[in-house]
């Protein structure tokens, strides 16, 4: 559910805690660094204020009036997911698991994004649903929508809070900035620009943040490669110390690979259930596409996003792999991964490399990039929250007719209390770290049942509201039960890590445990939905389902445009590229 749930899964083994240590010298920012940071903050505020005059109706505020070009929504689509935890988590996993971390991109995200653009977007955008829960209402019923909107609203606030906590703690440890003040200042900036410019402001700023993150973090891979002796140097060093870290598939016949998951677990658990569940049904993502100005632009949104997304492992995972190589070189490289309590503290890989290699100037740029990544993740969560709150909960559940003006006012209030509640969750996270890693598991529990429900809802006419609702309930429950019955080797049995009912099922790694949980939850939802739906007569007629189910949605007439802008062509090209990457790094 959270925009940070994929890296959070990865980080689960080392927990979200970004502990101190590893920084021999304290780092001082100078006026150049500060002016870079200040220029960024001024620009995001400027964009918010410049967009204020377009905010005339609630559709403008929550859906950008469905008027944004595809390249903007496409970059915002991936930027919404580039939270600080994604950047830090992916580098951490690069160091811990090696290149297999790229499965989260090349098996996970990319195919799911293509599927969303080519097959699901005609129903999402065409149905004129204003949110993901609202689509569930159109296709099924009010219960199913309520289930989804409440679980989404709660989890999205928690994920925003967790990432706020992570950033404030990082700034505190690295720069000695006051935890409370950093939390407050960054939240106020995000709050201000969303209040002014609504979703448009979040989206336009996400594109700016995308370039900021890319151009601020990319030089790290450049300097890292210089330090390790180029790409060939890296391959040579890794192949002497840890050859399995440079292969995606070679060791996946069994569980003897860094992830501890065989190939079918990767394909089904990560590739299919977890990634499709996240990318295709998370409203913080889908909302970006709904803001696009035409059906073609909406369908191209995840496809345009997929192109840079495919390259991102070079920016975020590669520095982690380099950090591992530098730490284990026979000659002293001067850099080692920070340790905490005698074990490598992978969450510090990215920040420690930045501080090790970047002088003042570049340092300010990289810190601003981290700040930008944090803001984009937070703004995505907050704009998704205020929309779901206003359209799916307030407009529906509170008595009385609401005028458009009232919805807009409520949207602004929802933005404010969304930010305030996120700050509350951040403090909660700083006090109960174990509960946070449990919650990250929970994000996974909720996603896969929703995805099973969408799959049946969008691609079959028989699936009905009874099947959908009880399928969701059964699937989510089964996830908790499976978690209670399974434990990763070496983990303490308990409510946090699992096995609290009885540790019957032993799994090699926490990662494989989460894949199995997701797989079980998906299967139970899928089967329950089908069985319950088939035991009843059809609930809705073809006419009622027109535009909501794939077979009853008119074939998309392609936009007049060059052949390469057609979603199916673009999708096919992306799939070919991603298959090639999988073979290349076999």
Partner 1 sequence: MTFDLRLPIGILFTIYGVILTGYGLLTQGSEMYQKSLGKNVNLGWGIVLLVFGLFMLLLTRLGRKN
Interface positions with partner 1 (CB under 8 A): 32, 35-36, 39-40, 43, 46-47, 50-51, 54, 64-65, 67-68, 72, 200, 204, 207-208, 211, 215, 219, 223, 226-227, 356-362, 365
**Both structure tokens of 178:** 């006051």
Q: Which residue number, 67 or 575, has a Cβ lying nearer to partner 1?
A: 67
Q: Which residue number, 62 or 454, has a Cβ lying nearer to partner 1?
A: 62
Strands 339-340 and 343-344: antiparallel
Residue 411 C-beta: closest distance to partner 1, Å: 18
Residue 348 C-beta: closest distance to partner 1, Å: 17
**3-class SS at 476?**
helix
Strand partners, 339: 344
Distance from the Cα of residue 175 to its chain's centroid: 27
Q: Which residue number, 123 or 325, has a Cβ lying nearer to partner 1?
A: 325
Q: Which residue number, 208 or 446, has a Cβ lying nearer to partner 1?
A: 208
- Between the CA of residue 411 and those of 204, 281, 385, 425, 521, what are the distances in Å? 19, 22, 9, 20, 33
Q: Does residue 300 contact residue 288 with C-beta atoms inside 8 Å?
A: no
Q: Which residue number, 365 or 371, has a Cβ lying nearer to partner 1?
A: 365
Residue 566 C-beta: closest distance to partner 1, Å: 23
With the C-alpha atoms ordered 292, 296, 299, 300, is the resulting torsion angle positive or negative? negative
Q: Which residue number, 207 or 266, has a Cβ lying nearer to partner 1?
A: 207
Residue 176: CB partners within 8 Å, gap ≥ 6?
26
Residue 511 C-beta: closest distance to partner 1, Å: 34
Residue found by looking up tokens 């076999």 in the block: 586
Backbone Cα Rg of the chain: 23
Q: Which residue number, 17 or 60, has a Cβ lying nearer to partner 1?
A: 60
Residue 65 C-beta: closest distance to partner 1, Å: 7
> CB atoms < 10 A from the CB of 519, how many?
21
Query: Could you tell me which of 344, 251, 230, 290 has the C-alpha nearest to residue 63?
Result: 290
Residue 329 C-beta: closest distance to partner 1, Å: 14
Q: Which residue number, 219 or 484, has a Cβ lying nearer to partner 1?
A: 219
Residue 43 C-beta: closest distance to partner 1, Å: 5
Residue found by looking up tokens 């915002």 in the block: 76
Residue 201 C-beta: closest distance to partner 1, Å: 10
Residue 214 C-beta: closest distance to partner 1, Å: 10
> CB atoms < 10 A from the CB of 53, how many?
9
**3-class SS at 494?**
strand
Residue 74 C-beta: closest distance to partner 1, Å: 13
Strand partners, 494: 498, 499
Helices and strands (H, E) in the chain, number of each type: 27, 4
Residue 556 C-beta: closest distance to partner 1, Å: 24
φ/ψ (deg, to 5) at 573: -60, -40
Distance from the Cα of residue 330 to its chain's centroid: 37
Helix (H) or strand (E) holding 514: helix 510-534
Dist CA 298 CA 69 (whole Å): 9
Cα dihedral angle (134, 136, 137, 141), rounded to 10 degrees? -160
Q: Which residue number, 41 or 154, has a Cβ lying nearer to partner 1?
A: 41
Q: Does residue 470 contact residue 528 with C-beta atoms inside 8 Å?
A: yes
Residue 51 C-beta: closest distance to partner 1, Å: 6
- Between the CA of residue 356 and those of 338, 342, 346, 363, 368, what are the distances in Å? 11, 21, 15, 10, 17
Dist CA 392 CA 576 (whole Å): 39
Residue 168 C-beta: closest distance to partner 1, Å: 24
Dist CA 24 CA 175 (whole Å): 13
**3-class SS at 76?**
helix
Q: Which residue number, 191 or 365, has a Cβ lying nearer to partner 1?
A: 365
Residue 234 C-beta: closest distance to partner 1, Å: 15
Q: Which residue number, 214 or 425, has a Cβ lying nearer to partner 1?
A: 214
Helical packing angle, 230-241 and 179-228, nearest 10°? 100
Q: Which residue number, 361 or 494, has a Cβ lying nearer to partner 1?
A: 361
Q: Which residue number, 65 or 475, has a Cβ lying nearer to partner 1?
A: 65
Q: Which residue number, 39 or 505, has a Cβ lying nearer to partner 1?
A: 39
Residue 131: CB partners within 8 Å, gap ≥ 6?
149, 283, 287, 290, 387, 388, 391, 392
Q: Which residue number, 219 or 547, has a Cβ lying nearer to partner 1?
A: 219
Residue 220 C-beta: closest distance to partner 1, Å: 10
Strands 486-488 and 505-507: parallel
């Amino acid at each position: 559910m959270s925009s940070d749930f994929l890296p959070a899964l990865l980080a689960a083994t080392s927990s979200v805690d970004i502990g101190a240590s590893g920084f021999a010298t304290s780092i001082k920012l100078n006026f150049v660094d500060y002016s870079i940071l200040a220029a960024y903050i001024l620009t995001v505020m400027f964009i918010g204020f410049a967009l204020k005059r377009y905010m005339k109706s609630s559709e403008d505020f929550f859906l950008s009036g469905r008027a944004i070009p595809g390249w903007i929504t496409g970059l915002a689509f991936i930027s919404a997911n580039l939270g600080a935890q994604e950047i830090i988590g992916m580098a951490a996993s690069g160091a811990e698991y090696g290149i297999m971390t790229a499965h989260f991109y090349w098996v996970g995200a990319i195919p799911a994004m293509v599927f969303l653009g080519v097959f699901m977007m005609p129903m999402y955008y065409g149905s004129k649903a204003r949110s993901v829960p609202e689509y569930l209402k159109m296709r099924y019923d009010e219960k199913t929508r309520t289930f989804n909107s409440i679980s989404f609203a709660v989890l999205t606030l928690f994920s925003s809070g967790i990432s706020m906590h992570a950033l404030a703690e990082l700034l505190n440890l690295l720069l000695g900035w006051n935890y409370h003040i950093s939390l407050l200042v960054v939240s106020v900036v995000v709050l201000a620009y969303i209040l002014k410019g609504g979703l448009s402001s979040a989206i336009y700023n996400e594109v700016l943040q995308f370039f900021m993150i890319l151009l601020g973090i990319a030089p790290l891979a450049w300097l890292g490669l210089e330090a390790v002796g180029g790409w060939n140097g890296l391959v040579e060093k890794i192949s002497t110390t840890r050859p399995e870290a440079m292969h995606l598939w070679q060791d996946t016949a069994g569980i003897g690979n860094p992830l501890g998951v065989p190939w079918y677990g990767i394909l089904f658990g990560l590739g299919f259930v977890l990634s499709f569940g996240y990318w295709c049904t998370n409203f913080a993502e889908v909302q970006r596409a709904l803001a696009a100005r035409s059906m073609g632009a909406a369908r191209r949104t995840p496809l345009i996003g997929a192109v840079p997304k495919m390259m991102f492992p070079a920016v975020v995972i590669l520095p982690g792999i380099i950090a591992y190589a530098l730490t284990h070189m026979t000659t002293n490289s001067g850099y080692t991964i920070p340790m905490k309590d005698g074990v490598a503290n992978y969450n510090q890989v990215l920040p420690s490399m930045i501080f090790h290699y970047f002088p003042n100037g570049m340092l300010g740029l990289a810190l601003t990039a981290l700040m930008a990544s944090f803001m984009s993740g937070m703004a995505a969560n907050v704009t998704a929250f205020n929309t779901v709150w206003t359209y799916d909960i307030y407009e529906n559940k509170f008595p009385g007719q609401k005028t458009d003006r009232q919805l807009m006012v409520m949207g602004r209030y929802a933005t404010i209390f969304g930010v305030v509640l996120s700050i509350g969750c951040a403090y909660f996270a700083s006090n109960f770290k174990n509960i946070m890693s449990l919650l990250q598991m929970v994000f996974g529990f909720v996603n896969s049942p929703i995805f099973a429900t969408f799959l049946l809802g969008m691609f079959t006419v028989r699936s009905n509201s009874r099947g959908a609702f009880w399928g969701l309930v059964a699937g989510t429950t089964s996830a908790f039960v499976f978690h209670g019955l399974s434990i990763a080797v070496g983990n303490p049995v308990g409510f946090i890590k699992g096995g609290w009912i009885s540790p019957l099922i032993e799994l090699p790694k926490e990662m494989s445990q989460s894949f199995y949980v997701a797989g079980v939850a998906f299967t139970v939802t899928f089967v329950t939905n089908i069985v319950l739906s088939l035991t009843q007569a059809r609930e809705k007629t073809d006419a009622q389902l027109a535009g909501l189910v794939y077979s009853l949605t008119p074939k998309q007439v392609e936009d007049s445009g060059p052949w390469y802008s057609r979603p199916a062509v673009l999708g096919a090209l992306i799939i070919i590229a991603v298959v090639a990457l999988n073979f290349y790094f076999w």
